[in-house]
Amino acid sequence: MAAVTELGAPTSAQREQFPVLSQRVHGKPLVYLDNAATTQKPQSVIDAMNQFYQSDNSNIHRGVHELSERSTRHYEEARVKLQNFINAGDWREIVFVRGVTEGINLVAYTFGRKHINEGDEIVISAMEHHSNIVPWQILCEEKRALLRIAPINERGELLLDEFESLLNPRTKLVSVVHVSNALGTINPVAEITRVAHRHGVPVFIDGAQAVAHMKVDVQALDCDFYSFSAHKMFGPTGIGVLFGKKDLLNGMPPYQGGGDMIRSVTFAKTTYNDLPYKFEAGTPNIAGTIGMGAAADYINGIGLDRITPYERDLLAYGTRQLERIPGLRIIGTAREKASVLSFVLEGVHPHDVGTILDREGVAVRTGHHCAQPVLEWFGVPATTRASLAFYNTREDIDALVAGIGKVREIFA
């Protein structure tokens, strides 16, 4: 078995770092291919969070005692790790949020409420996750602004010319996904940002599906906002980062009011804290933040320069194997793609595919992947989605293919 090790393939020692992966499900070895929903956590992340609760637990930014100083230090160290992880120019540009959903809502609620007025326009793409649609719809409804949708082609690629033709003096924000969770399309976000900036429009990038698969450099991208969630990069749930350019963040009103986001409070007047604390009201998810920092360390230890080419090769292998299956159609065939193999099987509903694969130990996602509009565009109500992480192997793909064989047998 696995006599030939592909370049960059995970070693068994690396896979063993993920305790969840070593179990059997329904009597079969677990093949975890639902990484776009959430990734598994390495021991180092679990240990970092345990360590916090076992020996350092304390609130941050207030106590003068030893534990509080330790907690504060670890919390702020995590911020710097994540700053470096996406190469932000300043640690104050890293705001901790619950995840990308909150990152988008924060920008909609603060930047959006301040800068978007009646008749203004926001541009998103046709392949957005519901989280990059609904907050803008809420804002547009409130402000009587207009949400405009940049179209895609049949491969699931954004039409850049059409996108640019949507930009006009009323456009106040562009918000696009870096990597589509339903299709795997990698959007040319540097190009998108350049085009938008040429029209004087700031850009928000949803990086949820990108950061575990490719190096992100927000200074090189020159994007105005970038948000990503820990749990999609081997970290815990409920914590993520919103990056924003300092000048923009400074000009934005606070998001939530409460402790830690203020400098001084009187009943007459409250002055707000500096960045990034202005946006971090209340006691934050300290253990989660530390876990997210450990996840960044973990990815750096493996190296995105190794992960990206390996996953590209694995995705190409998976694509080839799936394409050989009669009646199978891959949804999303962009030339630039990462991680995602979304497909429909003739005559079989994705739910039935998912149930049968599960009994074979293969975990995939079925449904609309919180991206109903894009699936509607492709004319399918749902797909089966296998999504890869660096710890997946060709054997995992083979198990998926064998599982689909079983599906076809049952529904023959």
Partner 1 sequence: MLEDLYQEVILDHSKRPRNFHHMADATRHVEGYNPLCGDKLKLFVKLDGETVQDISFVGAGCAISTASASLMTETVKGKSRAEAAQMMERFHDLLTTEKPRKADLGKLEVFSGVREFPARVKCATLAWHTLKSALTGAGEVVSTE
Cβ closer to partner 1: 284 or 361? 361
C-alpha–C-alpha distance, residues 62 and 59, integer Å: 7
355 touching partner 1, by CB under 8 A: yes
- Residue 360 has a CB neighbour count (10 Å cut-off) of 21
351 touching partner 1, by CB under 8 A: yes
- Are 173 and 149 in contact by the 8 Å Cβ rule? The answer is no
- Exactly one of 66, 347, 402, 405 binds partner 1 (CB under 8 A); that residue is 347
Residue 106 tokens, joined: 């924060």
- Exactly one of 197, 215, 246, 349 binds partner 1 (CB under 8 A); that residue is 349
Instruction: Tell me which stretch binds partner 1 (CB under 8 A): 31-39, 138-146, 161-169, 344-352.
Output: 344-352
- Are 341 and 385 in contact by the 8 Å Cβ rule? The answer is yes
Cβ closer to partner 1: 198 or 359? 359
Cβ closer to partner 1: 30 or 295? 30
Cβ closer to partner 1: 148 or 349? 349
Burial annotation 187-200 (CB, 10 A radius, 16+ → b, else e): bbbeebbebbeeee
What character string, x for contact with partner 1 (CB under 8 A) and - otherwise, covers 364-383?
--xxx---x--x-----xx-
Instruction: Tell me which stretch binds partner 1 (CB under 8 A): 83-91, 162-170, 334-342, 352-360.
Output: 352-360
> Count of alpha carbons within 13 Å of 195, Cβ hemisphere only?
20
Identify whether 223 is a catalytic site residue.
no
DSSP 195-254: HHHHTT--EEEE-TTTTTTS---HHHHT-SEEEEEGGGTTS-TT-EEEEE-HHHHHHSPP
384 touching partner 1, by CB under 8 A: no
**Which residue is listed with tokens 């689909």?**
404
348 touching partner 1, by CB under 8 A: yes
- Residue 40 has a CB neighbour count (10 Å cut-off) of 19
129 touching partner 1, by CB under 8 A: no
Cβ closer to partner 1: 172 or 368? 368
C-alpha–C-alpha distance, residues 160 and 152, integer Å: 9
Cβ closer to partner 1: 26 or 73? 26
- Exactly one of 352, 373, 377, 398 binds partner 1 (CB under 8 A); that residue is 352
Cβ closer to partner 1: 25 or 160? 25
Q: How far is the CB of 146 from partner 1 (least distance, A)?
A: 26
Task: Please pick, among 370, 377, 394, 411, the residue that the annotation labels catalytic.
Answer: 370
- Are 373 and 182 in contact by the 8 Å Cβ rule? The answer is no
Q: How far is the CB of 149 from partner 1 (least distance, A)?
A: 20
Q: How far is the CB of 278 from partner 1 (least distance, A)?
A: 37
- Going by C-alpha positions, the residue among 390, 386, 395 that lies closest to residue 8 is 390
**Count of residues of this chain found to bind partner 1 when the rule CB under 8 A is applied:** 18
227: left (phi over 0), alpha (psi -120 to 50) or beta: beta
- Are 251 and 25 in contact by the 8 Å Cβ rule? The answer is no
356 touching partner 1, by CB under 8 A: yes
- Are 56 and 71 in contact by the 8 Å Cβ rule? The answer is yes
Burial annotation 239-277 (CB, 10 A radius, 16+ → b, else e): bbbbbbbeebbeebebbeeeebbbeeeeeeeeebbebbb
410 touching partner 1, by CB under 8 A: yes
411 touching partner 1, by CB under 8 A: yes
**Which residue is listed with tokens 């230890």?**
301
Instruction: Tell me which stretch binds partner 1 (CB under 8 A): 165-173, 216-224, 293-301, 345-353.
Output: 345-353
Supply the residues annotated as catalytic. Answer: 370
Give residues in contact with partner 1 (CB under 8 A). 347-352, 355-356, 359, 366-368, 372, 375, 381-382, 410-411
